[in-house]
Amino acid sequence: MNDTVRVIVDKTFLFNDLPSASALSVSGDSIYVAGDDTPVLYQLDKTFRQVGRFLLLPHFAGQQRIPKPQKPDLESMAEGFCDGQPCLALFGSGSLSPQRDSMYLFFPGAPDSTQVFDVNFLYQQIRESAAITADELNIEGAVIAGETLHLFNRGRNFVASLSWPQLLKSLYQKTNIFDLKVVISPVSLPTHQGVPMGFSGATLAPGTNWVLFTATVEDTDNWYDDGEILGSYAGGLYLPENGAAEITWLAPVTDHNGVGVKDKIESITCLHTDVQGYLHALAVTDNDDGTSKLLKIIIKMNP
């Protein structure tokens, strides 16, 4: 593992009217942010100004925050294609059924055409394939790489991989929904101050075949309740078509002085690689108080 990588928070932006940021993605010139307990998807421009709000859950229209027992817990967002059209796939965590067993397809080119699907059957297959109990499922990251969907589970850290086109076919045609092949790749993450770290987000690194992921260290007895944030990490993960997942590097997220940040990083997305070979990314944090932060991050692969 390469331990020379530095992950630095370059700038921080506070959003007082964007609660519980939990997932983000870049599509075209826009940044899209979802909250785990808000009924809308937020659109930001390149200057991080809010330019759009799109209602995902009409039955919660008018509510700034959805009560915890009812929230869809949208914790991950992946950019992909559906019927040849760019789309964003948002996934509920699956940590509470049926409230958190949905997938939303948002189309940036047709923002009023959002589709929602019940993916309980998929989550049940993941539980069976990973040999976990119902309360051990907690999907926190999603990546669509070519025709493969990778879902990142927190707690019992593993990646569940399956065919993205086959999943869409099953959902649209409502046939063969139990014939999906799910491959489970366990990932061993270290502890921080004796507390386990768990996946919190993932994105495909541009022009590469590796995944950039985030992991947080939260002092809690379970993955349902919030706890004290002890630190956040970022890392590189190689997911071969056949074989075990391999962590290529792992580093704490720090400020410019090397002090670890205590923000609860929930999701990350890549922007570009500069002439020095540094990777620029955006991350969001959930402050657990109705506000959120957007972090501009620089990843120095060769400091």
Per residue in 184-199, pLDDT tens? 999 999 988 888 899 9
Q: Which residues contact 135 (CB under 8 A, 6 or more apart)?
A: 95, 222, 223, 224
Cα separation, 119 vs 115, in Å, equals: 13
Q: Which of 55-64, 67-76, 227-236, 246-255 comes out lowest in average pLDDT? A: 55-64
Helix ranges (DSSP H) in the chain: 120-130, 164-173
pLDDT in tens, 110-163: 999 999 999 999 999 999 999 999 899 999 999 999 999 999 999 899 999 999
Mean pLDDT of 33-48: 94
Of 111, 146, 84, 93, nearest to 30 by C-alpha is 111
Q: Is 165 helix (H, G, I), strand (E, B) or coil?
A: helix
The order of strands in the sheet holding 210-219 is: 191-192, 195-204, 210-219, 228-238, 246-254, 6-15, 292-300, 279-286, 265-273
Q: Which CATH superfamily is domain 6-300 in?
A: Apyrase (2.120.10.100)
User: What is the predicted pLDDT for the residue at 62?
Assistant: 74
Enumerate the domain spans of the chain: 6-300
User: What is the predicted pLDDT for the residue at 287?
Assistant: 76
Q: Which of 37-46, 59-68, 228-237 comes out lowest in average pLDDT? A: 59-68
Specify the pTM. Answer: 0.94
User: What is the predicted pLDDT for the residue at 173?
Assistant: 86
Residue in the structure block whose two tokens are 């785990």: 36
